[in-house]
Structure 1
Amino acid sequence: MKTRNIRFFFLLSTILLGFLSSCKKDNEEIPALAKPQIGTLEIGSGNNKTVKAGSDLHLEGDIVAEALIAKIEIEVHQEGGGQYKFTKAYTDGKYIGVKNATFHEHIDVPADAPAGAYHFHFTVTDKAGNATTAESPLTIQGSDAKVAYKLVFTEVAGEAHGDHFHDLAEKEKVEPIAISFDEKGTALAGGHAHLNPAGIYKIELKQFDASSKEIQGQYISNKATADYYKAFLTGGSFVLNPNSSTGNGAIFQTKETTYGDGSAVNGATETTGIITYFTAGKDNEGEKNVFFVLRKFNDASTKSKVTRTDWNLSDYATKFAGQDLIKLSFELHAEEGED
């Protein structure tokens, strides 16, 4: 009996020592060392600390974090009592979980940012909870071009199924990604859309008149009007989800539910694309040059012939006679760890 108790005590002691040793190793992986160090940070072209609204802000600098980088946060806010600000955060991707990193990014400055004096904050937090912030004055100059169109990407919850989505629902605390365009469809801000390839995004098309009033509702004011219009996402040679062997292909589902007059939109072929849901899918990781197109057909009967798998056709213009009323050009980066 005593021998058995001794053996049990020895086994229990071994397990306890192993557990304590494991805990010690886990703690050693995140050492309580010095705070992150941020080297000389270039802000703006030639470090001029100036940028135009509707363009991108060049940032470059070296980071050393003994306890490994956990997140990088950027905030730009108005000086002199102004309330305008914009932010950007990196919580995964190539900068996270490493000790040494050269941060080099171009941060999109919203085209509607008021011109004037701003304050720039660049904060690095390590896995031990230590944080270091580099600060600088920043001048934002007025935009040269007026915003004529905008695409707003907002990540949502849902499930991809064939050529469409199920159970779409809003997510909490999601920061939309906005891309602004001039009247020719050239990107002014947010021209590099960084999306999680596995994410599902609600895309809203916005169009503005000379007074900056939204006027995109004109295309779906009623069924008779909407029958002439359909959205496409061309370029990029996407692997479509119905053709994917892994079920990780792209889906672009136009999905309004009502017309401007309050009547219901019935069926997939009636939807237009002022509101669309999109996923690139892991089969399409990487960078793609794409165009968001709103096409006006010559004949109202054409729309009923456009299926859910026609949105990326290279010959859509030949197949569906009409004209590209709106054609917005931008880069789509579908990469793991993107916001």
Structure 2
Amino acid sequence: MKTRNINFLLLFTALFFGFLSSCKKDDADVPVSTKPEIGTMEIGSDNNKTVKAGSDLHLEGDIMAEALIDKIVIEIHQEGGGNFKFAKVYTDEKYVGKRNATFHEHMDIPSEAPAGQYHFHFMVTDKAGNTATLESPLTIQAADVKASYKLIFTEVKGEAHGNHFHDLADKENVEPTTISFDGTGKALAGHAHLKPAGIYKIEFKQFDASGKEIQGQYIKDKATADHYKAFLSGAAFVLNSKSTNESGAIFQTRETKYEDGTIVNGATETTGIITYFTAGKDNEGEKEVSYVLRKFSDSTIKSKITRDDWNLSDYAAKFPGDDVVKLSFELHAEEGED
């Protein structure tokens, strides 16, 4: 009897310490000394390692990090004695904390980047602090067309409510996204990569032949502005005011002053040189849209346009006039986008 009790005690003790040993082993499973691995990286269209200033650089490749991805950093600097450089850090949830990930992004190249030879650095750092780097030559070509228009998207803070926003305020350390357009309204560079639930300030810019901004002509005073209104056409958005869970789209034109300094009074007086926008989770995915600035045939028309009229498919018939500006582009409302 005593022997049986002793054997049982020994077995229990062995199982207990085996369990502790297993737990310790699980805690030590992360190989802190194993560097991340970067597979073959496509850099540029068809991996041509070439991109135009003011456009976006296609990047795609596989990453493996046993200690889990912490961040991805891209640095690009000029060769041959030049000192132009720029960088971007990716800490999106589709990468951070993952052991295996396919990196696929379109990195915006500054329009002011001088044409020439550059050096490309792609760096992956894991949770243990290990870093792996892939390097490559990169050629940046001069942009061949000067931008006639731009739309600048900057994420801000705020709350969506019905067909408008509350408590709009700037965010710190936010990198704007710019889409440039030629004189016909065709996008020269970039897409709008937006978080579905993010709120973005959209600034419309127009330039003359010398590069001077001239968008103020549409809101120089109330009498002038009464003839113009911006719309976002296409894609048949689910409007926030029609959403069952406040997850729809809002496009709120929102200048506060005319160019002559007088105050814009009321929602129907705003034009859309400055606009605030959210796509909303109800509208996730890729969409073809157009920012339209319409000049009405009668100055009384604008006062009849409500905040829910910005995406009407028949806006041209309902509000007589002419589209003086039409800028067409891709809008990507996707989680993990900047």
Task: Give the TM-score, by structure 1 length.
Answer: 0.88
Match of 2:153 in 1: 153
* Structure 1 runs not aligned, ≥5 long: 1-16
Specify the code of the residue in structure 1 equivalent to 2:48. Answer: N
Aligned equivalents of 1:27, 1:152: Cα separation in 2:
47
Post-superposition CA distance 1:287-329 (Å, at most 9, x none): 1111111111111111111110000111111111111111111
Aligned equivalents of 1:27, 1:279: Cα separation in 2:
43
Specify the code of the residue in structure 2 equivalent to 1:284. Answer: N
Match of 2:305 in 1: 306
Match of 2:272 in 1: 273
Q: 1:257 to 1:68 in 2, by over 3 A?
A: same
Q: Give how far 1:82 is off.
A: 4.0
Post-superposition CA distance 1:38-93 (Å, at most 9, x none): 12323223433221223332222221111122222222233345454343332124
Contact kept, 8 Å, 1:30 with 1:127, in 2: the verdict is: no
CA-atom RMSD, angstroms? 2.2
Match of 2:223 in 1: 224
Aligned equivalents of 1:77, 1:112: Cα separation in 2:
13
Q: Secondary structure of the residue that 1:301 maps to in structure 2?
A: coil
Task: Give the TM-score, by structure 2 length.
Answer: 0.88
Q: Secondary structure of the residue that 2:268 maps to in structure 1?
A: coil
Match of 1:167 in 2: 167
Q: 1:167 to 1:30 in 2, by over 3 A?
A: farther
Match of 2:330 in 1: 331
Q: 1:286 to 1:24 in 2, by over 3 A?
A: farther
Q: Give how far 1:333 is off.
A: 1.0
Contact kept, 8 Å, 1:116 with 1:139, in 2: the verdict is: yes
Q: Secondary structure of the residue that 2:217 maps to in structure 1?
A: helix
Aligned equivalents of 1:72, 1:269: Cα separation in 2:
45
Q: 1:268 to 1:32 in 2, by over 3 A?
A: same
Q: Percent identity?
A: 75
Say which is worse superposed, 245-254 or 82-91, in terms of deviation: 82-91
Match of 2:103 in 1: 103
Say which is worse superposed, 94-103 or 267-276, in terms of deviation: 94-103
Q: Secondary structure of the residue that 1:225 maps to in structure 2?
A: helix
Determine whether 1:234 maps to 2:226: no
* Structure 2 runs not aligned, ≥5 long: 1-16
Q: 1:71 to 1:210 in 2, by over 3 A?
A: same
Match of 2:252 in 1: 253
Q: Give how far 1:119 is off.
A: 2.0
Match of 2:85 in 1: 85
Q: Give how far 1:338 is off.
A: 1.3
Q: Secondary structure of the residue that 1:269 maps to in structure 2?
A: helix
Aligned equivalents of 1:147, 1:70: Cα separation in 2:
37
Say which is worse superposed, 95-104 or 62-71, in terms of deviation: 95-104
Q: Secondary structure of the residue that 1:238 maps to in structure 2?
A: coil
Post-superposition CA distance 1:222-269 (Å, at most 9, x none): 111111111111111111111000011111111000011100000000
Q: Give how far 1:126 is off.
A: 1.5
Contact kept, 8 Å, 1:33 with 1:66, in 2: the verdict is: no
Match of 2:118 in 1: 118
Determine whether 1:293 maps to 2:306: no
Aligned equivalents of 2:320, 2:24: Cα separation in 1:
69
Q: Which has the larger radius of gyration?
A: 2
Q: Secondary structure of the residue that 1:324 maps to in structure 2?
A: strand
